[in-house]
Chains A and B, each alone.
Chain A
């Protein structure tokens, strides 16, 4: 029993990201409206960003900005255990901005689709394409 609890405590954060990710995946697969699919894609993305940031966490460590970088107390020895892993932060920093830009492209495509077919519902779109 205590074994199970320790597994849950050690891993529950991953379960939360997986739940979020699956909500996004379900929206992308099952929703009929294109804008709702785009929203699902964004939820999926957010789950991955949270996942990456959580990988970088270390117990008892602070943000990856060196204290006393310059001036008084400089050149002290830096220990890696005192600072959280900066790499996931770097990767996600760019991913967030790129995510916004790709969201713009997705919305632009949705606008073009609406201009052409006057609908954003997937089944109506397919019916209109088959008629031609």
Chain B
């Protein structure tokens, strides 16, 4: 297998290198990729959508149909991981472990459970005390990471950014919380149900904006139809439509990242995760 693989790899690589000789030279302004459609995008984006960031405009306006299904792919990936891994057969553990938060005393209860309170937190059998430095630094950093994520989504019209990037940053901030503390801390703040619902809501915001344009009498995803709802001129309406759609993408991406992480890290049990 190794030798066959090596031969196949070298053959394919050789063919590709042979074909690469016919490719346009690197950074050639007249290459085919840069001559047909992209000049239109670069020159007309500002007057047609009033968005200076061409990438955002192409992503959420000119190619919005494509992006909608990319978001759907991400959502379905989240659902697929959930269906593959989540186990609902709840085998109650013989004993539960609790830790007194202030003193750090751990205790084991053979049957039953403690009523929920702030003094005791439930811990896993594999529990190790979180490192004080990591915990404190993450606690200080996470709000700033989240504000930066929101900025990246909201300012995606004028600077590099948008729903996908901002959503990943927001998701990463929650995953940092899960790594530095534990999965229970995350689930306490953002339950599995909320996660899944928000995931679907993000996609719904995107598709709903498109459907709203359809209801208002123009094509699917033609945001200039929103002008009568948002009380702006049709060009500004396209800019605002892009923002609405990007917010939907951001929510969907953030929740899918957290959803996939918590399922993969705890093997679908949502208990003894990282």
| Residues of A near any B CB (own CB < 8 A) | 7, 10-15, 18-19, 21-22, 25-26, 29-30, 54-61, 63-67, 69-70, 78-81, 83, 85-90, 93-94, 96-98, 100-102, 104-105, 107-109, 111-112, 115
Contact = CB atoms under 8 A, between A and B. Distances in A.
A111 B85 contact: yes
Contacts of A57: 26-27
Q: Which 5 A-B pairs rank lowest in CB-CB distance, beginning with the nearest?
A: A69-B52, A101-B77, A30-B5, A10-B25, A29-B5
Interface string B20-61: 110101111101011001110111011000011111001100
Contacts of A94: 59, 66-67, 70, 164
B126 interface: no
Contact of A101 (B2, B43, B74): B74
> Contact size class for B?
35 or more
Interface of B: 1-2, 4-6, 8-10, 12-13, 16-17, 20-21, 23, 25-29, 31, 33-34, 37-39, 41-43, 45-46, 51-55, 58-59, 63, 66-67, 70, 73-74, 77-78, 80-81, 84-85, 158-160, 162, 164-165, 167-168, 253, 256-257, 260-261, 263-264, 267
B37 A87 contact: yes
Nearest to B33: A55
A119 to B, nearest CB: 16
B46 A66 contact: yes
Contact of A66 (B2, B52, B263): B52
Contacts, number: 170
Contacts of A100: 168, 257
Contact of B26 (A11, A65, A86, A89): A11
Contacts of A111: 84-85, 264, 267
A104 B257 CA distance: 9
Contacts of B39: 80
For the complex, would chain B's binding face be called helix, strand, loop or mixed by DSSP majority?
helix
Nearest to B8: A29
Contacts of B260: 101, 104, 108
Contacts of B85: 108, 111-112
Contact of B38 (A66, A85, A101): A85
B148 to A, nearest CB: 17
Contacts of B80: 105, 108
A112 B13 CA distance: 34
Contacts of A112: 84-85
Given A29-B8, A97-B74, A108-B263, A90 B55 contact: yes
Nearest to B26: A13
